[in-house]
Structure 1
Amino acid sequence: MRKKVLEAIQQHVAAAYPNEACGVIVQNGRAQQYIPCRNTAEVPTENFTLAPEDFTAAEALGEVLMIIHSHPDVVQLIPSEMDRIQCDWSGVEWGIMSWPDGDFCTLSPRVDRDYTGRPWVIGYADCWSLIKEYYSREFSLALGDYSVPLEWWIDGKEALYDDNWEKEGFAEISTSDLRHGDIIMMRLQSSVTNHAAVYLGENIILHHLSGQLSTRIPYGSYHRDRTVRIVRHKELMNA
């Protein structure tokens, strides 16, 4: 990274401290430029939300090369799993600077990463986000986002899966017709459907349970007994 750009990042990070700073590096002709952006997070000392209009304005100046943010008052600069997930989603490199230490590290998006072994991060790496990515990569189908950073199923007042599977283009099928790509929807210690898995064939499912790593396991009696419905996307009916 060019010294002038790194100095601009340091100045912004120092000025924003103790909040997290955020911004982008753009390629403007032959020059690289750091564009400071606003952090609109509700708790800016703990995380960041880059103002969308600031990002749009930066894109107008040139190609976005890197998204930058800071980690204030950390003992050691280690990217969080949330950082890695959001870097994957962004599709561009990320840079993180600790402050007041001034250490700097970069992340690259993880391309074609395995579906298993992923840490649980509620609202960002859970059963639905896994299904959403699987459908995008394997079937080129875009599903709505029903991963939210709270345990909405606890009191039974919300039913995100029950209320939205038909809207997402799924139709219920018979258990006897189960095949690759079908979604198995379940109730696990809840009065509403709160878990879902992709059927991979040969009695294997891919899923991500709360608090655990994502995994492939046999579709055994525990999950069969808690299955509410099995659905297939209408685009896959004749596949």
Structure 2
Amino acid sequence: MTELLNKCRADAEAHALAEHPREAVGLVIASRGKPRYVPCRNQSEELDHFILHPEDYAAAEDEGDIVAVVHSHPDASPEPSLHDIASHAASRMAWWIVGLRDGVATWHEMSAAGEMPLEGRVFVHGAIDCYTLIRDYYRQARGIHLLDFYRQDDWWHKGGNLYLENFEKAGFVATYTPRNGDVVLMAIGSPTPCHGAIWLDGDVLLHHLYGRLSCREVYGAAYRERTTHFLTYRG
């Protein structure tokens, strides 16, 4: 087994060198108890970020059990960034990071994390934020796995309109009256909808505001005035 895991690391290092100076991303999968490294496509347009192609993830999942998510830090140590730590926690999977500095590979491995509670989360944009909470609610409460989307911090002030551009791709349609578990979109400090929340029976929001812990809160006048859309899931 040690030899097979070392082969996985060697294959991941070769992939990282081939992708340099971009971050490489791949998966370690186990088929019949034997692990191997599967290189995947990085959809990110930024050199120091990765977005694992969903088709590659699905294909790897069909081949075996996913053991770990692997990505590289070009020209840097393998120590996880704050974004790595948050994304690792959100993924609930083991992560391996290979650092490439002067052509020398070093490793940092993080064990699989447990399920994050929906309330009391620290906000880290793009990893543990309002859309992460929506995705986790739908997975935990309804067994629905929503698409993920890369989101640059402060996108709502940079010409982006991510919620309106992508809600149909994620399986939602607009509605006029929210029901338990529907999504509420709000424009908070922005000309476009930049915040999403879950509407719950009793006129309560489950949401995660920028700079605050995730929580349940009464859907009061301040939020109603900033609401732009109600969305219901149709698949």
TM-score range, shorter-chain basis? 0.5 to 0.7
Alignment pair present for 1:74 and 2:76: yes
**CA distances 1:167-189 after superposition (whole Å, capped 9, x unpaired):** 7245322xxxx774344333323
Aligned residue for 2:217?
Answer: 217
C-alpha separation in 2, matches of 1:107 and 1:141:
26
Residue 149 of structure 1 corresponds to: 152
Task: Quickly say closer, same or farther: Cα 1:184–1:92, change in 2 above 3 A.
Answer: closer
CA-to-aligned-CA distance 1:170-215 (integer Å, 9 cap, x gap) = 5322xxxx77434433332334433232234556422122354433
> % of aligned pairs identical?
27
- Report the alpha carbon displacement of residue 77 of structure 1 after superposing the two structures with TM: 0.9
Structure 1's 65 and 153: CA in aligned 2 closer, same or farther, altered over 3 A?
closer
**Alignment of 1:196 onto 2:200:** no
Structure 2 unaligned residues grouped into runs of 5+? none
**Partner of residue 21 from structure 1, selected from 19, 24, 40:** 24
Which amino acid is the alignment partner of residue 141 of structure 2? E
Question: 1:198 & 1:213 partners in 2: Cα distance?
Answer: 15
Shift of 1:95: 1.1
Q: TM-score, normalised by structure 2?
A: 0.66
Equivalence for 2:2? 2
Q: Is the 8 A contact 1:22 1:36 kept in 2?
A: yes
Counterpart in the other structure of 2:95: 94
Residue aligned with 1:68, SS: strand
Give the alignment's Cα RMSD to 1 decimal. 4.3
1:6-39 C-alpha deviation (Å, 9 max, x unpaired): 4444455456554433333343556433345565
CA separation of 1:48 and 1:196: change in aligned 2, threshold 3 A:
closer
Q: 1:48 aligns with which of 47, 50, 57?
A: 50
Which residue does the alignment assign to 1:85? Answer: 87
Residues 143 and 30 (structure 1 numbering): CA distance in 2 closer, same or farther, change over 3 Å? closer
Is the 2:86–2:124 contact (alpha carbons within 8 Å) kept by the matching residues of 1? no
* Alignment TM-score, normalising by the size of structure 1: 0.65
Letter in 1 for 2:108: C
Corresponding letter in the other structure for 1:197: A
Q: Distance in 2 between matches of 1:233 and 1:26?
A: 32
- State the alpha-carbon separation in 1 of the partners of residues 218 and 82 from structure 2: 31
- For the pair shown, the structure with the greater C-alpha radius of gyration is 1
Match of 1:135 among 121, 133, 138: 138
User: What is the deviation of 1:126?
Assistant: 3.2
**Unpaired runs of at least 5, structure 1:** none
Distance change (3 Å), C-alpha of 1:40 and 1:189: closer
The aligned length equals 227
Cα distance, 1:110–1:170 mapped onto 2, change above 3 Å: farther
The separation in 1 between residues aligned to 2:21 and 2:165, in whole angstroms, is 42
- Specify the code of the residue in structure 2 equivalent to 1:219: Y
- Asked whether the equivalents of residues 167 and 173 of structure 2 are also in contact (C-alpha less than 8 Å), the reply is no
8 Å CA contact 1:66, 1:92 repeated in 2? yes
Moved more, 107-116 or 34-43: 34-43
Alpha-carbon contact 1:23-1:36 (below 8 Å) kept: yes
3-state DSSP of counterpart to 2:176: strand
